[in-house]
């Protein structure tokens, strides 16, 4: 079978879509349980060279280097670091972290991936937030982002009583957390800014809906977690000129890791088994939204598709004779 150049160029968008990341519509909730994030365990996904699973901290909020350390919510020494709190980049963009469940995926495809959320309801409708997936949970539905916000409710597990002396059910309600900005005043210093963020930049929004797309992780996010995926593109994650603005200083000196140049498609991931970890909590249950997970096709590195160069003329012209394109895939050659 033979295709003309015109036909092949018309098919180009479909080849490009094959490398696109996850996207669609989804829901948000909020939580902060102080437990070790599930993406802090080793062997769950393919890391970029020199990167590590999500950074975790000890009970004194200092970096803990043993990625096999058990969670503080299961009697171990590992907790979520306080600097994984959200912050405003500007009036329309914020950065943060979330427990994630992407329809059709798994931890192997979403751990340490970044997603640009565009809020579509509530007081923050139209504002954007880029989150890095640091956690997951069996109680999350497809395309749900459980945003890590101090004071957002501990949910199923509570490590905050051990780590920060929080009440036995966490700060405020177990699901949903505190009910006013003034409640943040009594929080530990390391968590206050993240707590205030909910009522300042986030305008007290209560689980707004979102549209989302997978993007390259900003360096400011990976610097805090020390985690970068092998398939992250390393390209700018958003159009905002402040997209790679430095993160604010925090009281917890978590080790930093630079960004890495990699690819954005979550198609081919390394999936391994690991020690079970506690699930992330959600502040409220939500119905499963409409799903548009995108197409996850990843051409083999050995594939080679050769197409004729476009004509330099501003008006495309084509000869009557069809042009031939040779496609070589893993040593097999065919002509079209």
Q: What is the CATH number of the domain that holds 156?
A: 2.40.40.10
Q: For residue range 188-208, what is the model confidence (pLDDT) as tens digits? A: 999 999 999 999 999 999 999
Per-residue confidence (pLDDT) for residue 152, from 0 to 100: 98
Mean pLDDT on 304-318: 42
pLDDT at 316 over 50: no
**Top mean-pLDDT range of 8-22, 66-80, 259-273, 291-305:** 66-80
Per-residue confidence (pLDDT) for residue 196, from 0 to 100: 98
Is residue 66 annotated as part of the catalytic site, yes or no?
no
CA 272, CA 290: separation in Å to the nearest integer? Answer: 29
Per-residue confidence (pLDDT) for residue 334, from 0 to 100: 42
DSSP state of 184: G
From 33, 146, 231, 232, active-site residue: 33
Residue 334, token pair as written in the block: 């065919």
Per-residue confidence (pLDDT) for residue 137, from 0 to 100: 82
Q: H or E stretch including 147?
A: strand 144-148
In a domain, 241, yes or no: no
Per-residue confidence (pLDDT) for residue 16, from 0 to 100: 35
In a domain, 208, yes or no: yes
Count the neighbouring beta carbons within 10 Å of the beta carbon of residue 319: 8
Cα-based distances in Å from 315 to 5, 216, 311, 323: 14, 36, 8, 18
pLDDT at 127 over 70: yes
Higher pLDDT, 257 or 34: 34
Secondary structure class of 112 (helix, strand, coil): coil
In a domain, 216, yes or no: yes
Q: For residue range 8-63, what is the model confidence (pLDDT) as tens digits? A: 444 433 333 333 589 999 999 999 999 999 999 999 999 999 999 999 999 999 99
In a domain, 176, yes or no: yes
Select from 144, 291, 103, 132 the least CA-distant residue to 215: 132
Q: Does residue 101 contact residue 142 with C-beta atoms inside 8 Å?
A: yes
Q: For residue range 132-181, what is the model confidence (pLDDT) as tens digits? A: 999 998 789 999 999 999 999 999 999 999 999 999 999 999 999 999 99
In a domain, 177, yes or no: yes
Count of structural domains within the chain: 1
Three-state SS string over 218-284 comes to CHHHHHHHCCCECCCCCCCCCCCCCCCCCCCCCCCCCCCCCCCCCCCCCCCCCCCCCCCCCCCCCCC
Per-residue confidence (pLDDT) for residue 6, from 0 to 100: 52
Select from 223, 227, 184 the least CA-distant residue to 204: 184
Q: For residue range 95-125, what is the model confidence (pLDDT) as tens digits? A: 999 999 999 999 999 999 999 999 999 999 9
Q: Which domain holds residue 190?
A: 27-34+84-223
pLDDT at 271 over 70: no
Per-residue confidence (pLDDT) for residue 2, from 0 to 100: 54
In a domain, 243, yes or no: no
8-17, 119-128, 210-219, 229-238: least confidently modelled range? 8-17
CA 296, CA 24: separation in Å to the nearest integer? Answer: 13
DSSP class per residue in 307-323: -PPPPSSSS----SSPP
pLDDT at 92 over 80: yes
Q: Percent of the chain at pLDDT above 70?
A: 63
In a domain, 64, yes or no: no
Per-residue confidence (pLDDT) for residue 248, from 0 to 100: 52
In a domain, 270, yes or no: no
Tokens 């917890």 correspond to: 252
């Amino acid at each position: 079978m033979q295709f003309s150049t015109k036909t092949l160029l018309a098919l180009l968008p479909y080849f490009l879509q094959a490398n696109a990341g996850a996207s669609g519509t989804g829901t948000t909730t909020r939580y902060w349980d102080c437990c070790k994030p599930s993406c802090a365990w080793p062997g769950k996904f393919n890391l970029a060279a020199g990167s590590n699973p999500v950074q975790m901290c000890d009970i004194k909020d200092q970096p803990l280097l043993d990625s096999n350390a058990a969670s503080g919510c299961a009697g171990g020494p590992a907790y979520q670091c306080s600097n994984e709190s959200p912050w405003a980049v500007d009036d329309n963009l914020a950065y943060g972290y979330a427990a994630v469940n992407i329809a059709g995926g798994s931890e192997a495809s979403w751990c340490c991936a970044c997603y640009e959320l565009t809020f579509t309801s509530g007081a923050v409708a139209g504002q954007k937030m880029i989150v890095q997936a640091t956690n997951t949970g069996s109680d999350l539905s497809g395309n749900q982002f459980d945003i890590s916000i101090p004071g957002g409710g501990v949910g199923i597990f509570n490590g905050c009583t051990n780590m920060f002396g929080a009440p036995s059910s966490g700060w405020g309600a177990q699901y949903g957390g505190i009910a006013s900005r003034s409640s943040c005043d009594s929080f530990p210093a390391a968590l206050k800014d993240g707590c205030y963020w909910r009522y300042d930049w986030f305008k007290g929004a209560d689980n707004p809906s979102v549209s989302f797309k997978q993007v390259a992780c900003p360096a400011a996010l990976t610097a805090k977690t020390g985690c970068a995926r092998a398939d992250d593109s390393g390209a700018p994650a958003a159009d905002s000129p402040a997209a790679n603005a430095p993160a604010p200083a925090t009281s917890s000196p978590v080790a930093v890791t630079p960004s890495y140049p990699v690819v954005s498609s979550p198609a081919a991931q390394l999936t391994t088994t690991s020690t079970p970890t506690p699930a992330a909590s959600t502040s409220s249950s939500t119905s499963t939204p409409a799903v548009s997970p995108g197409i996850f096709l990843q051409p083999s590195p050995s594939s080679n598709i050769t197409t004729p160069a476009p004509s330099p003329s501003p008006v495309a012209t084509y000869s009557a004779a069809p042009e031939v394109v040779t496609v070589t895939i893993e040593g097999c050659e065919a002509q079209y």
